[in-house]
Amino acid sequence: MARPEAVVTSRFAQLRQQDLAVLLPELLLAGQLIDRSGMAWCIGAFGRAEMTRIAVEEWMAASPVYTRRMQRALGFEGTDVVTIFKGLQLDIGAPPQFMDFRYTVHDRWHGEFRLDHCGALMDVEPLGDEFVTGMCHDIEDPTFDATAVATNPRARVRPIHRPPRTPADRHPHCAWTVVIDDAHPPVGESPGCQRLRSSRAATVALDPIEPGDDGHADYSGPLRGDLDFAEFSKSALVRLADEVCLQMHLLNLGFGHAVRRRTDAEGARRLCVKQLTGIAGIAAQRLHRALRLPGGVEGALRVLELHPLLNPAAYVRAAVGDAVTVTPSPAHEDGAWISLCGPAERRPLRAVVQAVDPRLDVEVEGTAEEWTARVVTRAVPARELDEVAVTRISTGSSFTFEPRRSLPITPVGRESRVQT
C-alpha cells in the first residue's frame, strides 16, 4: 500500500515558465545519458552480454512505474496507441530530438513510429554490430513491450526494420509497429518492476498541477508530433520536471538492484558511484549552460539546487543557501543517489561543481545521511574526473536542441504505412 506523503514545494517552482520550458528537454536527455555513464563500467566489471542483461532489467523495472505516474500527472490515462505515444514523448528513454521519434496513428489500436535520428545508435554504432544488436534487439524487444504494458498489457511493439543498418546510412534509423489486440496474451510486469512499486520513489506525492495558469495544464488533447514545452503552464512544467527527476531515480534504483545481483555490496556501491559521478557532471554542465546560470560558487550552488541528484524536493530533503544541507529523506530509505554522497564520498558533488568551474571543490561534514557541503575555490583547476570523461564520449553530451513547431497528429487510416 502506498504511504501518504506530505506535499513539499518543488525547487523548480522558483524558475520562470520560459526557463522551465528550456529545462525539460535537458532533464529528459540527462535521463537517457544515465546508461552512457553506467554501462561502460558494467562492461568492464561483467562483460558485454551481462551489461545488456542489466540494461534490460533496469528499464523493465522502472519504465512501467514512471509511465503510469506521468499519465496520471498529465491527465492522459488510456488504453490505446495514442496514450503509449504520449508516454514515450515524456520518457527519459526517448528524449526529444536526440531520440527523434516520428509517429503515425492509423486508429486507436494500430500505429507506427520511426526514429529519424537515434542518438543512442550514434553512440554504439562505432563499437560494432555486436553492440548495436545488443541495444536494438536484445534490449529493445523486452523493454518496448514493458513500457507499453503500463498502458495496455496486450500491446505489442515489433520492428519493421532496425539496425545494424543495411545499407550503412539507412534512414530512418529504425521503424516499428504498435498493435493492441485482444488476441495477444497479456504481458506481465517483471519481478524488478513489482519490487520497485513499493519504493518511496514510486509512491511519493508531488505538487498538484494548479489550474488557471497560462498554458496547458495537462496533455489530454491531441497527440502532438513534437511537444513544445513552452505551451504548458508553469505549474504543469514544475510537475513535469519533478516527475522526470523521479524517472531518473527509479531507473537508478533498477540499475542498483541489477548490479547487486551480480556482485557484493561494496562492488555494487563502487559501480553506482561511478554511474552517478559521470551523469552528475554532464547533467550539471548542460543545465548550467542551458539556463545561463552564473559562474563561480553562486552558479555551482544554483546548479546543485536544480540538479536531479537533489530533486524532487519531496523525495530528497535538502536546503540550499550558502551551502547544501542534506537530511534523512525518502531517497535515503530507497538507497537512491543521495545515499551515495556524503563525507565519505565527494566525487559526485565535485563532478557537479567542477562542471561550473574546474577550480571549485566541495568540503563535506556530517554523517552518512545528514551532512553539509560547502563549495570552495581552489588555486589549481582540477582535471576532469574519469567518470565524467567516459560519459562525455556520448554524442548527447554536446547535443543541441532546435526549435520545432508543435503540430497535432491525426489518424491517417489503416492503409497508410511508414516509408522504409
- Gap between the Cα atoms of 132 and 152, Å rounded: 28
- The answer as to whether 377 is a domain residue is yes
- Of 241, 204, 243, 248, the C-alpha closest to 33 is 248
pLDDT surpassing 60 at residue 165: yes
- The answer as to whether 179 is a domain residue is yes
Task: Report whether the peptide linkage leading into residue 164 is cis, meaning its omega lies within 30 degrees of zero.
Answer: yes
Is the CB of residue 250 less than 8 Å from the CB of residue 202? Answer: yes
Is the CB of residue 396 less than 8 Å from the CB of residue 119? Answer: yes
Which residue segment(s) compose the domain that 281 sits in? 264-396
Q: Using DSSP, state whether 28 is helix, strand or coil.
A: helix
Number of domains in the chain: 2
The reported pLDDT for the residue numbered 414 is 53
Judge if 361 and 229 occupy the same domain: no
Percent of the chain with pLDDT over 70: 96
**Section 145-153 average pLDDT:** 91
Judge if 18 and 157 occupy the same domain: yes
pLDDT tens digits, one per residue of 69-91: 999 999 999 999 999 999 999 99
Judge if 377 and 240 occupy the same domain: no
- The answer as to whether 230 is a domain residue is yes
pLDDT surpassing 70 at residue 295: yes
The reported pLDDT for the residue numbered 2 is 42
The reported pLDDT for the residue numbered 8 is 78
- The answer as to whether 342 is a domain residue is yes
Judge if 159 and 288 occupy the same domain: no
Percent of the chain with pLDDT over 90: 92
pLDDT surpassing 60 at residue 1: no
Judge if 151 and 283 occupy the same domain: no
pLDDT surpassing 50 at residue 418: no
- Of 301, 299, 328, 331, the C-alpha closest to 315 is 331
**Section 318-346 average pLDDT:** 98
pLDDT tens digits, one per residue of 173-186: 999 999 999 999 99
Angle at 229 between CA 224 and CA 235, to 5 degrees: 120
Strand partners, 372: 325, 365
The reported pLDDT for the residue numbered 7 is 55
**Section 329-354 average pLDDT:** 98
Secondary structure (DSSP) of 48-82? HHHHHHHHHHHHHHHHHHHHHHHHHHHT---SSHH
Judge if 371 and 310 occupy the same domain: yes
Judge if 49 and 92 occupy the same domain: yes
Judge if 36 and 153 occupy the same domain: yes
pLDDT surpassing 70 at residue 417: no
User: pTM of the entire structure?
Assistant: 0.95
Judge if 184 and 268 occupy the same domain: no
Judge if 80 and 168 occupy the same domain: yes
**Section 103-122 average pLDDT:** 97
- The answer as to whether 251 is a domain residue is no
**Section 271-288 average pLDDT:** 98
Mean pLDDT for all residues in the chain = 95
